[in-house]
Amino acid sequence: MKNLQVQIDAHSGFCFGVVYAIEMAEDILDEAGVLYCLGDIVHNDEEVNRLKRKGLKIIDHEVLKDLRDEKVLIRAHGEPPSTYQLAIENNLELIDASCPVVLKLQHRIKNSFDKGDSIYIYGKHAHAEVIGLLGQTNNKAVVFQDISELDLDTLPNNITLYSQTTKSTDKFYEINEILKNAGITVNTNDTICRQVSNRDRELRDFAGKFDHIVFVSGTKSSNGKVLFNVCKETNPNTYFVSNSAQIETSWFGENDRVGICGATSTPMWLMEQVKERILTF
Ligand code: SF4
């Protein structure tokens, strides 16, 4: 035995938006035994599989087009107006678990669009939240995930900048500086969720206290990638795993201190499993 000291980060685990969506789904599943959900309810396969076993059926927009007279959950990422329109046409009852933070951002973008602003969104192409945001502008806003995608010489003189809620705060402000230095007037809206940006700061503190960090997240989580990099920058001995089977005993030496943390989409029960496994080394 390696006599490892293992601690889970108390601030890791689901953010309130994900807790809200999963509680809503579980209430209905406990009563009805079945519920459709548009897209993965959370970017974590282990948690999605747990809910599928309770009767959750994950569908995509193609399947939604042919679905009639059913209950469909909208997950925390939110949806564009076209989905709400389709639900009316197909007599679908939407259980709207869009995160309040995302809904507020949708409204802000819609207001900017209605005022005629040139809207730029720092976000991941084709990400569900970004599709919902773009929908507020009839898909007219410009989405970019790297500043190199923008031709600064041909940008309007005056733009309104937003961010997907789970992007890196540092990168957002770097982009903001580059745009301003290029002589563009930027109406800057830092719309990064505080659940993400606060966790960024907390994780820097946490990651510095251990010999090794095991970061637990689904591979599809944007927020997972950002927060993993935050840990890795602070502590180079940081490993990314999606489940307890991926941990290797060779990572750790005798008497090492190991910290476990995760994304806003990582369930606490999964981090507990990871801890249990590490304690067997
Ligand atoms: S990260 Fe923030 S915006 Fe996204 S679901 Fe969680 S609370 Fe909502």
Mean pLDDT of the chain: 96
How remote is the CA of residue 264 from the centroid of ligand 1, in Å? 8
> Which pLDDT belongs to residue 41?
96
Q: pLDDT tens-digit profile of 142-191? A: 999 999 999 999 999 999 999 999 998 999 999 999 999 999 999 999 99
Q: Which fold has domain 5-13+197-278?
A: Cobalt-precorrin-4 Transmethylase; domain 1 (3.40.1010)
Catalytic residue chosen out of the listed positions 31, 93, 129, 233:
129
Q: pLDDT tens-digit profile of 122-135? A: 999 999 999 999 99
Parallel, antiparallel, or unpaired for β 257-262 and 5-8?
parallel
Domain boundaries, the chain: 5-13+197-278, 16-98, 101-192
Instruction: Say which amino acid occupies 47.
Output: E
Question: Which atom from ligand 1 is nearest to the alpha carbon of 18?
Answer: 5
Q: How far apart are CA 225 and CA 176, in angstroms?
A: 21
Cα 274 to Cα 19, 72, 253: the distances in Å are: 21, 32, 17
Q: Same CATH fold, 101-192 and 5-13+197-278?
A: yes
**Intra-chain end-to-end CA distance of the chain, in Å:** 6
Residue nearest to atom 7 of ligand 1 (CA): 17
CATH entry 3.30.1510.10 includes domain 16-98: no
Q: pLDDT tens-digit profile of 30-78? A: 999 999 999 999 999 999 999 999 999 999 999 999 999 999 999 999 9
> Which pLDDT belongs to residue 121?
98
Assessment of whether the complete model's pTM goes beyond 0.85: yes
Q: Cite the annotated binding site by residue number.
A: 15, 43, 77, 99, 127, 165, 193, 221-223, 265
> Which pLDDT belongs to residue 258?
98
Class of 101-192 in CATH? alpha beta
How remote is the CA of residue 43 from the centroid of ligand 1, in Å? 12
Instruction: Say which amino acid occupies 114.
Output: D
129 catalytic, yes or no? yes
Note the helical H segments in 12-152: 16-32, 45-53, 61-66, 81-89, 100-114, 128-134
Q: Is the dihedral of CA 84, 88, 94, 96 positive or negative?
A: positive
Q: Over pLDDT 70: what percentage of the chain? A: 100
Note the helical H segments in 90-168: 100-114, 128-134
Residues with CB under 6 A from ligand 1: 15-18, 76, 99, 101-102, 165-166, 193, 195-196, 264
> Which pLDDT belongs to residue 126?
95
> Which pLDDT belongs to residue 223?
87
